[in-house]
Structure 1
Amino acid sequence: MKSQRRHELQTNRLADSLGKSIEATRPYMRWIGLGALAVILVVFVGAWISSRNQTAAGNAWSDYFRALSSTDRQVALRDVSSVYPNSSAAIWADLATADFNLGQGCQIIYQNRDEADKALNQAIGAYQRVLDSNPRDTFLIQRAQFGLGLAHETLGKLKDASQAYEKVIQQGELTAVAALAKNHLDMLKRDEVKSFYDWFVAQKSAPDLGGGLPGMPGDLNGLPDFPDLKIGNPPSSSGDGTGGSPPKAP
Structure 2
Amino acid sequence: MLGPTIYTEASVLAAWDETAPFRGIRLALPPALARAHRAPGQVVKVRTAAGEGFFALASAPSPDAVVDLLVKRGGKVADAAIAAAAPGATLAVTEPFGKGFPVEEAAGRDVLLFAAGSGIAPIRAVVQHVLAHRDGFRRVTLFYGQRHGAEFAYRAEHLAWERGGVRLVLCPSGEDDAWPGVRGRVQEVARALAFGGTPPEETVAFVSGMTAMVDDVRRVLAGAGIPPQRVFANF
Q: If you compute each CA radius of gyration, which structure gives the higher value, 1 or 2?
A: 1
Compare the two structures and name the one with the higher strand fraction. 2
TM-score by length of 1: 0.26
TM-score by length of 2: 0.27
